[in-house]
Structure 1
Amino acid sequence: MKRCQAMATKKRGSQALIQSMINQGIKYVFGIPGAKVDQLFEDLQYSDDPNAPKLVVARHEQNAAFIAAGIGRLTGKPGVVATTSGPGVSNLTTALMTATAEGDPVIGLGGQVPRDDLSRLTHQSIPSKELMSFAAKSSVEVQDANNLSEAFMNAYTAAVSPKAGAAFISLPADVLSDDVDRPVIKTLTTPQASQASEKTLDKIVTLLKAAKLPVILAGMRASSEEVTTALHQLLAKVSLPVVETYQGAGIISHEFEKDFFGRVGLFRNQIGDTLLKQSDLVLAIGYDPVEYEARNWNIEHNDAVINLDSVAPELSNDYQPDMVIEADIAETITALTNKIPDDYRLSDQSVAHLNTLKEEFEDEKLVETEAKPGTVHPLSIINELQQRVDDATTVTVDVGSHYIWMARHFRSYRPRHLLFSNGMQTLGVSLPWAIAAKLVRPNEKVVSVSGDGGFLFSGQELETAVRLNLNIVQLIWNDGYYDMVKFQEEAKYGRYAGVEFGPVDYVKYAESFGATGLRVSDPTELGKTLDQAFSTEGPVIVDIPVDYSDNIKLKSALLKDILN
């Protein structure tokens, strides 16, 4: 009798893996099926547990991983992607590498040949664990079904631990189908936050009081809800200028607009670059060098730099902080706010200088020139879009010339609502991230912004968006070139090479997937077309012919320029 009871409690390896996901609140598994991982897909599809993750089939493994990473960026909890062996796993590489570079927690589950085929040159047998060790923070291969729950929970911990990123688990097919007789690991406890010591806080206050022009550089790890809230409380007590990185976009809310001094990234010619150059104290909060290397913004080596982060900084000739604080960022900012004297203020001279700096840059703001007939100027697109979104709207941005325009001129007032790939600058992220955003924020507007070059890297996921009936507005800035490369080649060589491609009818493309396709044939109809897109049910593509003639002004040097 006891033996029968024991047999009744047994699970397959894939079922133990699914229960581990349930215990951690995983809501979705994105992926593409295959023979080496079909047991997991079967058990997901037909699970009778209402809390089991929903299986969402994508149209390419890389895009499935982009969607999962988008879930990670938006929620701070890992998204999960599952693929079959061989090319199914290798197609994850770019997406997991991007997630690891840009701090997005994601767990990749890769099918593998049965264990007795691992050392043979057989169908779809590749060294998955070794391959992914270069793209992910951790990479393991499970050899016993009883270890599956442990492997998943350790992957979860690795994915969310600072610096967040990708974790990969290789799953031999026979391990997924084997019996498990150990209980799965329960829900993980949240690590206790720790703040900087009183002595450290006192030193920061001393440096702040001595500085004439302290500046906050808010990076990717300052964009969580907890850190943003703590930073707002600091700014409510004392007004300090803040410069955002691209992944820090939206940290500054409407309430603290006066403290916003732009974003930095790519070319060293923005108001934020000038302010960082002039500052005698930079408080870098959650800053990661992959966003914007210190050799770009700290060329002159500021008098003092304080690095406040949850991870140790990467040191270089251009980045050697005078203080390194490795602690919970939000807790430390809150404690610092309480430490700062109530009467602390920037000097009148510093405030006047900041006001003048803002006025100068407002006066020098790029003036829109008349676009070529039948095309639209980038600023017109941005201005029309800005009028049709609210603070809750999520805008995902692909890589290309449009990405620079959006990063510089489009305003967002909530963190992780304006998304950029600024570590790897990976083409194709925008539509998959938009799918993730609509799943996480179903009641809010979601806009994806791509160029015609980058859109087709992941455009097949339009079918996924149609199948899920997601209201996503996809803008395509269409000019017929890989223009971000083109205009930089022209700046460097006076000509361009290898950047042209043929036209695509994106209206028919959209319609072939069951989506709505709109085209801006008359530039004066842009606003009306956008209104139609936002009022249409389901995914909508808006094809916008763009005139990038003013692109060269994006790199015009206000400071010494660096072409990437």
Structure 2
Amino acid sequence: MLKRESDAETAWKCGADLVVRNLEAHGVQQVFGIPGAKVDRVFDSLVDSSIETVVVRHEANAAFMAAAVGRLTGKAGVALVTSGPGVSNLTTGLVTATSEGDAMVAIGGAVPLDDRLKQVHQTMDSVSLFKPITKFSAEVVTSTSISEVLSNAFRAAECPRPGAAFVSLPMDIVNAPATGDVLTNLPSPEFGPAAADSIRAAAELLKEARTPVLLLGMLASAPENAEAVRNFIEKTGVAAVGTFQAAGAVGVAQFGKFAGRVGLWNNQPGDRLLDQADVVVTIGYNPVEYEPPKWNKHVRRTLIHVDAVPADVDRYYRPEVELVGNIAKTLDLLASEAGALSCSPEANGILVTLATARPELANRSAALGGSPIHPLRIVRELQDVVGPDTTMCVDMGSFHIWIARYLYSFRARQLLITNGQQTMGVALPWAIAASLVRPGEKVISVSGDGSFMQSSMELETAVRLKANIVHVIWVDNMYNMVEIQEVQKYKRRSGVEFGPIDFKAYAQSFGAAGFAVESAEQLRSVLREAMAVEGPAVVAIPVDYSHNPALMAPLTAGRLV
């Protein structure tokens, strides 16, 4: 590195060195990726840096890992891949990150600038590919702009609503000598609370309401916002519901005011509470989490939008007041302005019924036996091993609904759930990233046998990193979430069945510990044995999904399922 601090513009041996120095300046701890000829110079530069290079087995998983870093830390994780299919394989990870509010920066190699309009090996207009699914997509065209492009990518990814950013690095830019300064000392902009007049207007609506209700969204579960949500509930006494991605926003002390999570189908106690509401305050909510037509189909209630960005308005989501700014600061001021709020007897009755139904369900679940195993028994046993120092990552499938509805979490960003794109295969990559970000914690990841096989190659990565994770597989030899919906619509299933795998042997072939549960009576002891393993462990559990129609059915009075 030919660096001289006195120069107006520092000289670098190659553009790759300047790229890596910028990553260090942005506090990047790990880079997830797969090298190739167009970008291997950056991987070479990483060897001489403070950044850990995590080589993965598929580029989509690199993106998932980077996004998990963003969700857990608030600072963008980084994926680094080569040109052509290396870049295109990122697509699912980037659209998932943007939909779910996860900060990440993806860096992709590209052919030399002189070749980008020619039909040569791995030519691709990657910038255009990613523009619709990221917050920022640009190509570096001169070495002097490396720092500028990267800085803007990180800024776009991290605020105000996080998401994915993409940077294309042509081969000649990273290989040739470069000049330029690292853009350091660029603090993120500090957002203040929403306008005072708007806060007063929202407070007046809340004071006049018979049954105000909070609808917590993905940004409500960010640690600083979760603390403000809890204080708001304590000061006002208002009841709350949450989307799946708001898990952990409500603490133990506020649980009596929490009517549970809502999403996918409108049939939960939280949906009943929303139905009673005459004013709904959405906090950090994105419509992709739970579409407004499902919970506001009659368009008869007043909406107050509290977020870092303006509302994405449609005919079912038309806020009376928008409180745009720092969510936590806005909530604190709104709570002071609104004071204690009312709760109708009908809404209070829902909360009282829940307080009785929850322990009853836990007792019933613990008594469910046999094989294959009822989903509620699996959730019950998972609940017992998810302690305050545990992180859980949940994939997409029928199990996702059982966990989202019936497994409780009281720590911000403790429970990671995919919901924006409902992406399969995220749990294991997320868990690997979580084990790096939270090295002192045990990480549990959960998938079905279908979603597991979409990223199971990363078991090798987990073993190599000695990741302290337990991956739990719900086994039924079927894409079951698709199957239950097909049967509901067409009275038969199609295209959902696949063959069995010996997951215990499969895990062991990677060097991980493998466990196979045969009955409900073994479940508790096997889970605890797996949790005691230092390093990756896989637990396969046969699940009885015959009860899944209950997930879509209306609830009977006083019951949770």
User: Does the pair score TM above 0.5?
Assistant: yes
- Partners of 1:348 and 1:424 lie apart in 2 by 36
**Aligned residue in 2 for 1:155:** 153
- Partners of 1:456 and 1:362 lie apart in 2 by 34
Deviates more, 1:368-377 or 1:301-310: 368-377
Contact 2:504–2:540 under 8 Å retained in 1 = yes
Please, which of 416, 422, 438 is the counterpart of residue 419 of structure 1? 416
**Aligned residue in 2 for 1:274:** 272
Please report how far the alpha carbon of residue 540 of structure 1 lies from its aligned counterpart in structure 2 after TM superposition. Answer: 0.4
**Aligned residue in 2 for 1:394:** 391
Please, which of 331, 335, 349 is the counterpart of residue 353 of structure 1? 349
Please report how far the alpha carbon of residue 418 of structure 1 lies from its aligned counterpart in structure 2 after TM superposition. Answer: 0.8
Please report how far the alpha carbon of residue 67 of structure 1 lies from its aligned counterpart in structure 2 after TM superposition. Answer: 0.3
Q: Percent identity?
A: 44
Match of 1:395, SS state, is strand
Deviates more, 1:193-202 or 1:546-555: 193-202
- Partners of 2:184 and 2:233 lie apart in 1 by 40
- Partners of 1:493 and 1:386 lie apart in 2 by 35
Please, which of 211, 214, 225 is the counterpart of residue 213 of structure 1? 211
Structure-1-length-normalised TM-score: 0.94
Please report how far the alpha carbon of residue 336 of structure 1 lies from its aligned counterpart in structure 2 after TM superposition. Answer: 1.6
**Aligned residue in 1 for 2:179:** 181
**Aligned residue in 2 for 1:119:** 117
Contact 2:211–2:344 under 8 Å retained in 1 = no
- Partners of 1:279 and 1:248 lie apart in 2 by 19
Match of 1:36, SS state, is coil
Contact 2:463–2:510 under 8 Å retained in 1 = yes
1:334 counterpart letter in structure 2: D
**Aligned residue in 1 for 2:18:** 16
**Aligned residue in 1 for 2:458:** 461
2:32 counterpart letter in structure 1: F
**1:178-232 deviations in whole A, cap 9, x for unaligned?**
2222212113212122112222222222111111110000101111111111122
Deviates more, 1:518-527 or 1:240-249: 518-527
- Aligned ranges 1:62-81 → 2 under 5 Å: 62-81=60-79
Contact 1:74–1:437 under 8 Å retained in 2 = yes
**Aligned residue in 2 for 1:330:** 328
**Aligned residue in 2 for 1:284:** 282
Contact 2:12–2:18 under 8 Å retained in 1 = no
- Partners of 2:553 and 2:5 lie apart in 1 by 76
Contact 2:141–2:170 under 8 Å retained in 1 = yes
**Counterpart check, 1:548 vs 2:545:** yes
CA separation of 1:202 and 1:400: change in aligned 2, threshold 3 A: same
Please, which of 245, 249, 252 is the counterpart of residue 251 of structure 1? 249
Please, which of 258, 261, 264 is the counterpart of residue 260 of structure 1? 258
Contact 1:37–1:85 under 8 Å retained in 2 = yes
Please report how far the alpha carbon of residue 163 of structure 1 lies from its aligned counterpart in structure 2 after TM superposition. Answer: 2.3
- Aligned ranges 1:122-201 → 2 under 5 Å: 122-201=120-199
How big is the alpha-carbon RMSD for the aligned residues of Structure 1 and Structure 2? 2.2
Please report how far the alpha carbon of residue 96 of structure 1 lies from its aligned counterpart in structure 2 after TM superposition. Answer: 0.3
Contact 2:39–2:83 under 8 Å retained in 1 = yes
CA separation of 1:368 and 1:334: change in aligned 2, threshold 3 A: closer
1:87 counterpart letter in structure 2: P
**Aligned residue in 1 for 2:511:** 514
Please report how far the alpha carbon of residue 348 of structure 1 lies from its aligned counterpart in structure 2 after TM superposition. Answer: 7.2
Contact 2:218–2:243 under 8 Å retained in 1 = yes
- Partners of 1:197 and 1:277 lie apart in 2 by 29
Please, which of 29, 34, 39 is the counterpart of residue 36 of structure 2? 34
Contact 1:65–1:80 under 8 Å retained in 2 = yes
Please report how far the alpha carbon of residue 351 of structure 1 lies from its aligned counterpart in structure 2 after TM superposition. Answer: 6.7
**1:335-385 deviations in whole A, cap 9, x for unaligned?**
1222234xx342574674344453686599696599795311111111111
**1:140-169 deviations in whole A, cap 9, x for unaligned?**
111111111111000001101222111101
- Partners of 2:343 and 2:78 lie apart in 1 by 50
Contact 1:105–1:166 under 8 Å retained in 2 = yes
- Partners of 1:307 and 1:348 lie apart in 2 by 22
Please, which of 297, 308, 311 is the counterpart of residue 310 of structure 1? 308
Please, which of 296, 300, 308 is the counterpart of residue 298 of structure 2? 300
1:543 counterpart letter in structure 2: A
**1:474-515 deviations in whole A, cap 9, x for unaligned?**
000000000000111111111100000011111111111110
Match of 2:411, SS state, is coil
Please, which of 423, 426, 429 is the counterpart of residue 426 of structure 2? 429
- Partners of 1:515 and 1:221 lie apart in 2 by 35
Deviates more, 1:13-22 or 1:179-188: 179-188
**Aligned residue in 1 for 2:58:** 60
**Aligned residue in 2 for 1:562:** none
Contact 1:13–1:146 under 8 Å retained in 2 = no
1:346 counterpart letter in structure 2: S
Match of 1:517, SS state, is strand
Contact 1:221–1:285 under 8 Å retained in 2 = yes
Contact 1:24–1:187 under 8 Å retained in 2 = no
- Partners of 1:347 and 1:94 lie apart in 2 by 43
Please report how far the alpha carbon of residue 303 of structure 1 lies from its aligned counterpart in structure 2 after TM superposition. Answer: 2.5
- Partners of 1:539 and 1:381 lie apart in 2 by 20
Report how many residues are paired.
Answer: 552
Match of 1:247, SS state, is helix
Contact 2:15–2:174 under 8 Å retained in 1 = yes
**Aligned residue in 2 for 1:500:** 497
- Partners of 1:476 and 1:299 lie apart in 2 by 36
CA separation of 1:93 and 1:362: change in aligned 2, threshold 3 A: same
- Aligned ranges 1:370-385 → 2 under 5 Å: 374-385=371-382
Match of 2:54, SS state, is strand
Structure-2-length-normalised TM-score: 0.94
**Aligned residue in 2 for 1:229:** 227
Contact 1:397–1:448 under 8 Å retained in 2 = yes
Please report how far the alpha carbon of residue 327 of structure 1 lies from its aligned counterpart in structure 2 after TM superposition. Answer: 1.3
CA separation of 1:192 and 1:370: change in aligned 2, threshold 3 A: closer
1:353 counterpart letter in structure 2: G
The answer for unaligned runs of 5 or more in structure 1 is 560-564
